[in-house]
Amino acid sequence: MNKNSRRKFLKNSTMALAAGTGGLAIACQDIKKPKISVPYINYNKTYEWKITTTWPPNFPVLGEGCSHLARWIEEMSGGRLKIKVYGGGELIPSLESFEAVSNGAIEMGHGGAYYWAGKTPAAQFFSTVPFGMSFKQMNAWIVTGGGRELWEDLYDRFDLLPMLCGNTGVQMGGWFNKEINTIEDLKGLKMRMPGLGGKVMARAGATALLVAGAEIYTNLERGVIDATEWIGPYHDYLMGFHRIAKYYYYPGWHEPGPALELIINKSKFLSLPSDLQAIIRTAAYRSNTWVAAEFDNKNAVYLDKIIEEGKVSLKSFPDPVLNRLREYTDEVIQELIEQDEDSRKVYASFDKFRKSLHQWSTISEKYFYNKLM
């Protein structure tokens, strides 16, 4: 290519490029830019809230989780939202947080939804159901399976907003001072057990009592109760149950995947700037993951300690006992949903979701645990 031809080629190429970019610029002008809604944030305004728990002060994992939650919220908000944590009994009695948050005396509470069966029976389904769903399955139902909407609707009448905020994972079956060989061995037993599990035990002839965590050891030691369930090896060991009970039973048929809740006064939550609302939700999700992970971590270590110390007999409930308890569970739930419209509506969603998971759970996790581990 000679010099004249090269100059002509470059000139034509430059003109074509200019025409092309000019057309692109015109085309871009025709595209409407999306409007982005930016919340107004007043960095000079700060909030100081309180959270009360149903757990003893500074209680491992559960109390720690609340402290982490408060710290994460303060960090993410740049100090604009500070939350002071109170253990059960420090500010109000452990089992009065639902009402205190509902009436606005306290902004937040942390506990288990089954504690509020006396306020609204359907709340129990958002904690745990005997022979119900695991931690992962409860998460799936509440987060994406329709449970959250039902939960929020149920609590709305109390001016409360519930959020998932932890899970203990499958619990242990409890501490006993006599062997449970048949269903008859449960008759006349006074046992600490909340929620639907307690109603099932009552159907089996036991007396189910709701006792705050801080009072369980003393009640068991003094014979006020004959048996107790609590959580799992880590917390049970720290509570000292292995020193005053002979038999440690599994599985936790009554609490296969107990969800923990953060309850917030809804009016106060909605009065917050939208970014702080999002920060609270994000911190609750983070706490939900951390609590469940820490339970698995610590329970594995402390189950070994209980076994190694050799003072307690680790036993499984006989299959005939579990089968009878399952039958009683079906009876208790049937009676509840016949008497309470909210429970009927919530349980329909819970049960449908649980059944939809059955085949997948059987060929995935159940097969893995039974065949591959």
Over residues 246-254, the mean pLDDT reads 96
pTM of the predicted model as reported, rounded to 2 decimal places? 0.85
Give the tens place of pLDDT for each residue, 176-191. Answer: 999 999 999 999 999 9
Query: Residue 17 pLDDT > 80, yes or no?
Result: no
Give the separation between CA 191 and CA 199, rounded to whole angstroms: 11
What are residue 109's DSSP bridge partners? 52, 263
Percent of the chain with pLDDT over 90: 79
Going by DSSP bridges, is the β-strand pair 174-176/313-316 parallel, antiparallel, or unpaired? unpaired
Q: What is the mean pLDDT of the chain?
A: 90
For position 28, what pLDDT does the model report?
A: 43
Phi, psi (5° rounding) for residue 260? -105, 150
> Average pLDDT of 129-139?
96
**Residue 111: what pLDDT?**
95
What pLDDT does residue 32 have?
58
What pLDDT is stored for residue 36 in this prediction? Answer: 62
Where along the chain do its domains lie?
47-168+257-296
Kindly tell me the number of DSSP H helices and DSSP E strands found in the chain. Answer: 13, 11
At 50, is the pLDDT very low, low, confident or very high (cuts 50, 70, 90)?
Answer: very high
**Residue 9 pLDDT level (bands cut at 50, 70, 90):** very low
Tokens of residue 349, six digits: 């969603």
Collapsed DSSP state (helix, strand, coil) of residue 306: helix
Least confident of 11-15, 131-135, 204-208, 257-261: 11-15
Torsion of CA 62, 67, 69, 72, to 10 degrees: -150
Q: What is the per-residue pLDDT for 66?
A: 97
Buried b (16+ CB within 10 A) or exposed e, 128-144: bbbbbbbbebbbbbbee
Q: Which of 149, 197, 164, 138 is nearest to 345 (CA)?
A: 149
Span 47-168+257-296 CATH architecture: 3-Layer(aba) Sandwich (3.40)
- Residue 350: is its pLDDT beyond 70? yes
CA pair distance 87, 100, nearest whole angstrom: 14
**63-119 confidence digits (pLDDT tens):** 999 999 999 999 999 999 999 999 999 999 988 999 999 999 999 999 999 999 999
The two three-digit tokens of residue 274, written as one number: 């939208």
Report, as an integer, the average pLDDT of 203-219: 86
Q: Please give the order of strands across the beta sheet that includes 108-111.
A: 81-86, 47-53, 108-111, 259-265, 160-167
Res 16: pLDDT? 45
Q: Residue 287 pLDDT > 70, yes or no?
A: yes
At residue 344 the predicted structure's pLDDT band, cuts being 50, 70 and 90, is very high
pLDDT computed for residue 15 by the predictor? 46
Residue 161 buriedness (CB in 10 A; 0-12 / 13-18 / 19+):
buried
CA 42 to chain centre: 32
- Residue 29: pLDDT over 70: no
Q: Which of 328, 181, 168, 323 is nearest to 249 (CA)?
A: 181
